[in-house]
């Protein structure tokens, strides 16, 4: 099937070949078409509707993948090459990124404000800050719980206790999540505070030693074993938050009684 998305500039035309089958529509083909249209191109959209048709196209043009885009008769390539053609950043799976951490802390902060609003009819409360930190701990714990094995392997690269007691790497995600949940509820402070204080202190010492003493360049396991967040400030902040909450929650309970 051939369709053309019209453009005000008739000179900007592109030919796109992409897989559109009954049980599979190539997502990168859709993204290529969208990108071309956003760049003002009229797209001559050719659907490859069967495996045989796709294989024949690959053989004809000596390419290994689809989609494939042609502009002014010249093959640009797949979606990644198309982004490069238009001067747009291309992310690699190996690229260092802080996006997961930014997302977690941003959502945790907004959730803290939301809970404060629901409970107190105002967002600016001390409990909102407590919920922010506790929710952050819980969300970070969830990231680790998605693949405990992978997390524990990465954790062994730098955690001092895990190197001596390997099982600690698999206990840590559960401990962090439990402490965060109890702090959200404001319950069992006698349990949540020591957990946060102990694992936070061990973690902070481990990160400081690995990064600032040994000068090692490692990936942080703070958002799970598959992350590309560099070990350093983020992980140290996570541990300092746990230390702070471990110290603060008992004080809060003694002063305000709950």
Q: Give me the mean pLDDT over the 155-159 stretch.
A: 90
d(CA 20, CA 48): 6
Map residue 20 onto helix, strand or coil.
strand
The CATH number of the domain covering residues in 2-85: 3.40.30.10
Q: Report the candidate in 11, 28, 22 with the shortest Cα–Cα distance to residue 69.
A: 28
Convert the pLDDT of each residue in 167-210 to its tens digit.
999 999 999 999 999 999 999 999 999 999 999 999 999 999 99
Determine how many CB atoms are found less than 10 A away from the CB of residue 51. 11
Domain ranges (residues) in the chain? 2-85, 99-256
For a pLDDT cut of 90, what percent of the chain falls above it?
A: 67
In 62-96, which positions are buried (b, 16+ CB within 10 angstroms) versus exposed (e)? eeeebbbbbbeeeebbbbeebbeeeeeeeeeeeee
Residue holding tokens 């481990």? 206
pLDDT tens digits along 115-148: 999 999 999 899 999 999 999 999 999 999 999 9
Q: Return the pLDDT at 21.
A: 93
């Amino acid at each position: 099937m051939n369709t053309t998305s019209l453009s005000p500039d008739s000179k900007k035309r592109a030919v796109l070949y992409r897989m559109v089958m009954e049980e599979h529509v190539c997502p990168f083909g859709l993204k290529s078409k969208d990108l071309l249209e956003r760049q003002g191109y009229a797209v001559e959209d050719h659907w490859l509707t069967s495996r045989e048709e796709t294989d024949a196209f690959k053989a004809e043009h000596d390419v290994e993948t689809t989609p494939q885009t042609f502009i002014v008769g010249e093959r640009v390539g797949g979606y990644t090459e198309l982004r490069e053609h238009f001067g747009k950043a291309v992310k690699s799976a190996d690229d260092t990124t802080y996006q997961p951490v930014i997302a977690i802390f941003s959502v945790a902060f907004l959730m803290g404000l939301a809970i404060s609003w629901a409970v107190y009819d105002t967002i600016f409360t001390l409990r909102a800050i407590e919920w922010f930190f506790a929710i952050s701990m819980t969300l970070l714990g969830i990231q680790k719980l998605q693949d405990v094995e992978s997390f524990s392997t990465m954790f062994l690269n730098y955690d001092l206790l895990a190197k001596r007691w390997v099982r600690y790497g698999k206990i840590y995600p559960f401990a962090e999540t439990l402490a965060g949940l109890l702090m959200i509820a404001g319950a069992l402070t006698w349990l949540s505070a020591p957990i946060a204080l102990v694992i936070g202190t061990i973690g902070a010492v481990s990160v400081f030693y690995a990064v600032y003493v040994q000068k090692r360049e490692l990936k942080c396991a703070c958002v799970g074993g598959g992350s590309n967040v560099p070990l350093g400030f983020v992980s140290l902040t996570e541990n300092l938050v746990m230390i702070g909450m471990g110290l603060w929650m008992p004080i809060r309970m003694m002063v305000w009684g709950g």
